[in-house]
Amino acid sequence: AKLSGAHLPNADLGDADLIGADLSNALLLNANLIGTDLSGADLSNALLDNADLVAHLPHADLSGANLIGADLSDANLFSADLSDANLIGADLSRAVLDNANLSNAVLDNANLGGADGITNEELEQQAVSLEGADMPNGQKYEDWRKDRESRKEDRENDGSS
C-alpha cells in the first residue's frame, strides 16, 4: 500500500496488514493501529501524535516521525529505526527494542519502564534528551543518573569509563 502523504487523522487501521506499506509523511494523528502488522513499513516523517501503536513494527522506519504521546506499549520494535523521532510523552513500556535505533530521538517524559532489549546506558548514548523519562529499569532518568554518579565516585580508580 502506498499511502505516503495521506491525511488519515483518527483513522481506524486496527489489525490491518500493512507489511512494507509506504506511510512516509502520512498524517495519522490519533490513529488506531492496535494489532496492525507494520513490519518493514515506511513511517518516516509521519505524524503519529497520540496514535495507538500497540502493533507489530519490526524493521519499520519511523525515522523523523512525530510520536508525541503515542502508545507503543508492548509494541514489537525489533530493529526499528526511530532515529530523530519525537517521542515526548510516548508510552514505550514493555516494548521490544532489540537492535532499535534511537539515535537523536527525543524521549522527554516517555515511559520506557520494562522495555526490553535496550539498556539505560544505550538509551542515554543515543537519545538527544531523556528528561523526566521512566527508564527500562523503572527509575526516573534523573534518579538513575544520580545513582550512576554516586556509583562512579564509589569506584573512582577502577579504570572503566
Looking at the chain, the whole-number percentage of residues with pLDDT higher than 70 is 96
Q: Is 42 left (phi over 0), alpha (psi -120 to 50) or beta?
A: beta
Q: Give the model confidence (pLDDT) of 48-61 as tens digits.
A: 999 999 999 999 99
Burial class (CB in 10 A: 0-12, 13-18, 19+), 54: buried
Q: Give the model confidence (pLDDT) of 115-148 as tens digits.
A: 999 999 999 999 999 999 999 999 999 999 999 9
Q: b/e string for 121-158 if b means 16 or more Cβ within 10 A?
A: eebbebbeebeebbbbeebebeebeeeeeeeeeeeeee
